[in-house]
Structure 1
Amino acid sequence: MKSIYIALLMGFSLVATAQNKIVGTVSDKDNKALPNVIVSIPEIHKETITDVDGNYVLSNLPNGTFKLSFSFVGYATKLISVTISEKEVVQNMTLEDNIIHMDEVIVSTAFNKLQSQNVMKVEHESVKSLQQKGAATLVEGLAKIPGVSQVSTGTSIGKPVIRGLSGNRVLVYSQGVRLENQQFGEEHGLGLNDAGVESVEVIKGPASLLYGSDALGGVLYFNPEKFANPKEFKADFSQRVFSNTLGSNTSLGLKSSTENWKFLVRGSFNTHADYQIPDGDRVTNTRFNETDLKTGIGYSNSKFSSVFRYNFNKLDLGIPENGIGKQSTSHSTIYPKQAVDNHILSLHNNFYFKNSKLDADLGYIFNDRSEFEDSNAASLHMKLRTFNYDLKYYLPKFGKLETIVGVQGMHQTNTNSGEELLIPDAATNDFGVFGTVNYEFGKNVLQAGLRFDNRQVSSEAHGIPGNEGYFEAVDKSFDSFNASLGYKMHLADDFTLRLNIASGFRAPNLAELTSNGVHEGSNRYEIGNSALDNEQNLQTDLNLEYKSSHFELFANGFYNHINNYIFISPNGNVIDGNNVYDYVQANAKLYGGETGIHFHPHPVDWLHYTSSFETVIGKKDNGSNLPLIPANKWNNTFKGEFEVKNWWKEGFATLNIESTFAQNNNSEFETRTNDYTLLNLGLGGKITFRKTTFNFNLNANNLFDKTYVSHLSRLKTDGIPNIGRNIVLGINFMI
């Protein structure tokens, strides 16, 4: 496949036409040249930086109208439309001071707007900033974002939760394609490593209009790292160590680009021993090892651009079963354990026409998951193969009206080869078609869309009727129409309102339709229901933002009503000592929100104070509580920025106080959880020693070694606390 792909690219290179380019100078309001400003056209993956005189050049550009972005720390990001119809376009830019935040271009919502211009409120966070908070894994870092939590099994397995919804209700995108990795299982993590990931965008609310089934609760959109700028070669090495788990995370990356070709490769290895709780004991078999490889090749000319990426992730995960058992600092997993190989191949293509554009994304994911009970023979072995396609056509812009129409689909097969079956052999086919428009008038923006989806699920019968492990054959078709409507307006110069109303849906997964046996991860006998209907929801979101040069305030509120919410409920029977649970449906509602401030006092320009509070309540229509609803959380951070002569640049020191409230709104098969407060410290910056420059960060998480239990910890039922004090040191060198 790769040789065919390269041959195609070489064929396109032979028909490359004359080169267009944009040139210009970037300066501040005093007409002082600004070096190192990032100048980019996100739609076509073009980027450069200004030189010492503030000059920049973007070459090899297609004809058409594109969004040109100028971003630099300490200045307001500018995003303007530029029409390229001649060989050279001159575009100078003046940036204005904005020391409180840097605006980002949002990729996950299709129109590639700055967050300040976007109709939908989307949280954007760089992976670098999450690592600076001392997160050991990618999902642990995501849980630092207001409105996002994680269902955790120790430190190795984490599943994201967005406003109380998790599992198949949260869709994950990596490399531009939807990730499929048996995510229905409580003990099945994402299988993504933060190495080679640039940033994450979080859509908190139904995004079925853009992404189809499984985006009912929201979307996590991981942006891969960028290629090097033209005619550059870059190499970097990073190392992080973790005191609590005696862990290590090592990463090495190489990338280079010409005017037309781009290459990158990154390898990383992550290894941890059992995590330690505050009394000094280690939680047996929470150790894990992870190997990750990411590589990419890109080509572009004035008519066409293409990027091929490949990610291989290999996980060796211990499954904690006996709680506090034999103490060990070994990194080698023991039984029971999981072995997961995950392959993601993606091909992103842009075709440029005179006044329009076609995006064609193709993806292939192969998830090979094995579970070993007490020998090298896999008791559970599932192979999930998924092919995705996503075609979007950007129609010619008509005044202030932008329009996108698209077709998306998926073909997926699951096969079993182990002694046990968790879900049967099956095939799933998705097809969706949608259209969305964005209209700007003055400082107001209106966005609307409509979509139709069909999902077909067919599974094979297995086993003997009436016995454990029997799966009846299922042949089901699920249809859904969904719509969204969003409005953004300025109530005042610095005061913005966003109001969004959207519907979403989720087709029941194979476990919910077909289960018949003991789910070892949950210690219960689960019985599926082939008569389940779509989950269908309607959510209203209100976002208010106030931003000035020294103060930010935001308040997000939501109300989410879900028809046919799927959950498991005990039926009172016991099979082989396990309580029996049925998959059933009922209407449900979730409501709550997030609020926060960011204060940057003048004239104490080096000091930042941020505070956020988040809450969500989830109930069935009969008044009983939904499971896996995170506790209320109040987060406060003091951050100081500084420089020490010429050897310590971009320095920062942070004090974080994370207060989690008691969760008394537990479902019938959960226990209540007490409140707790954690204190976290951070220190870092860019150090120059002689001719060597490197970035470092030092964190002390749970500084006072507090004993606590998270409400969403899967080890809570055994009374096992979460991780104790953890000192994290990270260093990154540009080679």
Structure 2
Amino acid sequence: MKLKLLYCFLFVFIQFSAFAADIIDIKGKVVDAKTNEPLIGATVSIPDLHLAASTNVNGEFTFKSVPPRGRFVVQVQYLSYKSLTQTVDLSSNAPLVFALQPSIIESHEVVITGTPITAGSRYNSTSASVVTKEQLQGSSTNLIDALAKQVPGFSQITTSQAISKPVIRGLSYNRVVTLNDGVKQQGQQWGDEHGIEMDQFSAGRVEVLRGAASLQYGSDALGGVINVIDPPTPVQGNIQGEFLTNYSTNNGLTNTSVMLSGNQDGFVWRGRGSYQNAYSYNTPAGRYINSGFNQTNVSGMLGVNKSWGYSHLNFSYFKNNIGFYDAEPGDPLYYNSTDRTIDYPRQDIRHYKIALNNNFLFGNSSSLKLDLGYQKNQRRELEETPVPNLFFNLDTYSLDAKYYLPESNGWHPVVGLSSSLGHSVNLGEELLIPAYDEFSTGAFIYLKKMWGQNTFSAGARFDYVKNKGKAQNDDEGNPIFQGFDNNFSNVSGALGYTYVFNDNFNFKANAGSAFRAPNPAELGSNGVHEGTTRYEIGDADLSPERSYQADATLEYGSGMITGSIGVYENYIHNFIYASNNNNEQTTVEDEETGELRSFDTYRYGQVNANLYGFEGNLTLHPVSFIHLENTFSYTHAQNTTFDRPLALIPAGVLHNTLRFEPKIKGLNDFYFYAGIDNYFKQNRVDETFETPAQGYTLLNAGVGATFNIGKQPFKLYVSGTNLTNKAYYDALSRLRPGRYSQEDPNYGVYNMGRNITFGVYIPFGTSK
């Protein structure tokens, strides 16, 4: 009821405030720093206001309906020029003139918004990568799959082709936080076969923050954060849209997405619809049975941009139907059908979300960012009929507030508060975890100071988490779930430092602590987890995980060389994991057939763990149109309690790509690339339920260009992956040998074979 009252108050406040103050227009110009010639088509953006504009034939741009007060980070980008990031005081009457330096290198200077204070990456101690909208297009089957191909230190745990779970520096599941519309995604991310319920085409860009981020996001952010950011709204008076579609030969995957967005007198809106459909994917041995999927996404935004800031109401609906193959060792794994009908067993995943994002600006240069969210996540598993055998419903209400105090003596202070309330119920016959209620709240303070070439930051946070699982008996009065009632609290802290040696060279480092409260599955599981074919038993007496981490990164970019190298270490006390001890098994009787089935029994326990490694990238530019791009990463993870490796750790990987971007008359943005992905052997496995994974090499290539028919651009591209049709098992595939059954270590399903994707992207709109 309190949350409902708060929503009503905010809507009334927004409507009142929309007429409470005047607005101003901000004008400026972008020029070449050497020749002072105007740059046509440069992109100027203000991330904290969700605004972007392009320069006209005179290099000029205009932002209308802009707040007349406050200091904001502005980013200016233009092809073949160094990106420029600058803090601008919008209350000043001085003309805005941005002079860009020509450069053939890709600049490290990008804006990062997922940290407490928006800043350019050089002045932000967090190790972060930004993936653009263009990079998310291609042959990927979901958002996480797209990111795994772009970001060093980032990988994925996969189940078939439709489900990918993010892994950052060896940590996954509840140890990675995903944000969208400023709201932490709550979709039962603790499960092995649960993906991220998000439309990959809806993102304007994605920030991947590597390293512990509990200071701002509380429990779960031990490994890092995926911050999915919506596209900026058009400038006042304009309408923008896009249409994209592609087709992949391996699995018949068709992707289609349409978006339209507008801004009229400060009233902003956006709508998008996306659809994906794929049949069973092909491996060098045949098509994996019933591995097709289809996905429907609808999202929209209504809001206002006024002198007091902005308020945007976002809503989305996600529906994913995923086929599974319930095979036993010895059963056939492949067939040659391209039927798009999804057979049983299958999943029916639905996710509904409403988010109210606000940024209120005050006259004393302070501001309040307030994000309110409601999510409904429904997971249905259907074995033989449309009636779900397992039906799990989770409702989550959330609040996240950050108040930015006025700058004082160079110090930028921020205080924050976040809370969430989750309520789940079991609606199906099969049970794995008890119905539960989860409440969490936390508060933090953060300080940042810049002097000269130095930036220092520090913060502290207190968190409280309460989990209550409900006891439940079967029809005969026998206990199914014992229930649990746990309270966890934690104090964490973080320190950060950056030093900019010059325009080409900078250093950043972090140290701090983080924590993760046990999730309800770890506390209360008692049943067969069909996705992993094992019987899981939780432990209500588990303690929170506590992490102590440090990392450091060097970045360089000048002339013919761009690169970075980072090292990290993360010691986790009371690391939670499930294991099978002494070959324990549990026999379960099927209620319909009376058949007895035996499952390996996995019990949740705790150990101490240590993870360390390195990651980086190196790009060489012998001439302006040739780029040799290389990324690499390696994680070493040890169960220090039992002196053996941790499970589900990615193998070392080296990506090499040679990219050509010659100037061709009649074509814009032409490119061709050829790449080699080298995945090394993973011998460091938990031998109690894993087998080593062999190394492999994949060959990829692609070509693309933008054509103009009149003034209308059309981007066409073709990309190919695994061009040699290599038969391989990825180390993090849950279908590889030894993952499903130790009785038959040869049981396993190959990853996807050769795949060619053909795509088109058409932007359109007005430009006033």
- Under a length normalisation based on structure 1, what TM-score does the superposition of the two structures give? 0.96
Does the CA-based 8 Å contact 1:48-1:230 persist in structure 2? Answer: no
> Aligned pairs, how many?
728
Alignment map for 1:183-202 (pairs within 5 Å): 183-202=189-208
Kept in 1: contact 2:64–2:235 (CA 8 A): no
CA distance in 1, matches of 2:308, 2:600: 62
Query: For each residue in 1:473-499, what CA deviation from the matched residue of structure 2 results, as whole angstroms up to 9, or x when unmatched?
Result: 211001111000011113565322211
**Contact 1:127–1:194, Cα closer than 8 Å, also in 2:** no
* In structure 1, C-alpha distance between the alignment counterparts of 2:102 and 2:732, rounded to whole Å: 42
Shift of the 28–720 alpha-carbon distance from structure 1 to 2, 3 Å rule, reads same
Deviates more, 1:35-44 or 1:195-204: 35-44
Among 358, 361, 368, the residue aligned to 1:352: 361
Structure 2 gaps, min length 5: 588-597, 738-746
Cα distance between partner residues in 2 of 1:389 and 1:408: 5
Equivalent positions of 1:524-563 (< 5 A) are 524-563=534-573
- In structure 2, the residue matched to 1:228 is 234
Structure 1: segments with no counterpart, 5+ residues: none
Query: Would you say the 8 A contact 2:127–2:211 is kept in 1?
Result: no
Deviates further, 160-169 or 46-55: 46-55
- Relative to structure 1, the CA distance from residue 42 to residue 656 in structure 2 (aligned partners, 3 Å threshold; closer, same or farther) is same
**What is aligned with 2:219?**
213
Paired residue for 2:762? 733
Corresponding residue for 1:424?
434
Partner secondary structure for residue 443 of structure 2: strand
Which residue of 2 is the match for residue 657 of structure 1? 676
Alignment of 1:600 with 2:621, yes or no, is: yes
Matches of 2:402 and 2:425 in 1, distance apart? 31
Give the match's secondary structure for 2:307: coil
1:676, 1:525 → 2: CA distance?
33
The answer (yes or no) to whether the contact 2:186–2:375 under 8 Å persists in 1 is yes
Question: Could you tell me which amino acid in structure 2 is paired with residue 650 of structure 1?
Answer: D
Query: Quick check: 96-105 or 700-709, which moved more?
Result: 96-105
8 Å contact kept, 2:299–2:316: yes
Residue 60 (structure 2) pairs with residue 55 (structure 1) = yes
State the distance in 2 between where 1:220 and 1:702 align. 27
**8 Å Cα contact 2:626/2:659 also seen in 1:** yes
In 2, the alpha carbon distance for the partners of 1:468 and 1:190 equals 36
CA displacement, residues 639-661 of structure 1 (integer Å, 9 cap, x when unaligned): 00023212x21011011100101
Question: Aligned partners of 2:209, 2:549: CA distance in 1, in Å?
Answer: 13
- Answer with 74-83 or 137-146: which moved more: 74-83
Is residue 2:325 matched to residue 1:320? yes
Worse-matched range after superposition: 579-588 or 231-240: 231-240
Q: Tell me, yes or no, if structure 1 residue 304 matches structure 2 residue 309.
A: yes
| Match among 101, 110, 121 for residue 106 of structure 2 | 101
How big is the shift at 1:591? 0.7
Quote the Cα distance in structure 2 between the aligned partners of 1:3 and 1:267.
29
Q: Does 1:641 align with 2:671?
A: no
Amino acid at match of 2:617: G
2:610 counterpart of 1:589: yes
Question: What is the percentage of aligned positions where both structures have the same residue?
Answer: 33
Give, in angstroms, the shift of residue 291 of structure 1.
Answer: 0.2
Moved more, 684-693 or 235-244: 684-693
| Alpha-carbon distance change, 466 to 683 in structure 1, aligned in 2, over 3 angstroms | farther
Which residue of structure 1 lines up, in the alignment, with residue 638 of structure 2? Answer: 619
Matching residue of 2:276: 270
Contact 2:164 2:195 in 1 (8 A): yes
Residue correspondence of structure 1 range 559-570 to structure 2 within 5 A: 559-570=569-580
Identify which of 112, 124, 127 aligns with 1:121: 127
1:127: Cα distance to partner?
3.3
Q: Does the aligned pair in 2 maintain the 1:415–1:426 contact within 8 Å?
A: yes
Which whole-Å CA distance do the structure 2 matches of 1:158 and 1:344 have between them? 20
Partner residue, 1:340 = 349
Pairing 1:28–2:49 present: no
What residue is the counterpart of 2:744 in the other structure? none
Following superposition, the deviation at residue 4 of structure 1 comes to: 9.5
Q: Tell me, yes or no, if structure 1 residue 162 matches structure 2 residue 153.
A: no
The aligned residue for residue 204 of structure 1 is: 210
Deviates more, 1:722-731 or 1:608-617: 608-617
Matched, 1:678 2:698: yes
How many Å separate the matches in 1 of 2:581 and 2:123?
A: 50
Q: What is the aligned partner in structure 1 of residue 459 from structure 2? A: 449
**Does the 8 Å contact 1:598/1:609 carry over to 2?**
yes
2:289 is equivalent to residue 284 of structure 1: yes
Residue deviations 1:446-475 (CA, integer Å, cap 9, x gap):
111000000001111012599997111211
Aligned-residue offset at 1:154: 1.2
Aligned partners of 2:140, 2:390: CA distance in 1, in Å? Answer: 31
Match of 1:70 in 2: 76
Take 1:201 and 1:424, find their aligned partners in 2: how far apart are those partners?
A: 35
CA distance 1:212–1:6, change in 2 (3 Å): closer
Is residue 2:503 matched to residue 1:497?
no
- Distance in 2 between residues matched to 1:251 and 1:469, nearest whole Å: 48
**Greater displacement, 100-109 / 183-192:** 100-109
Q: Which residue of 2 aligns with 1:37?
A: 42
Task: Determine if contact 1:469/1:516 at 8 Å carries over to the other structure.
Answer: no
Aligned residue for 1:502, secondary structure, equals: strand
SS of match in other structure, 2:521: helix
Matches of 1:124 and 1:330, distance apart in 2: 38
1:395 aligned partner: 405
In structure 2, what is the Cα distance between the partners aligned to 1:69 and 1:259? 24
Is 2:383 the counterpart of 1:373?
yes
Match of 1:703 among 709, 713, 723: 723
How far apart are the structure 2 equivalents of 1:239 and 1:518? 40
**Distance in 2 separating the partners of 1:56 and 1:493:** 26
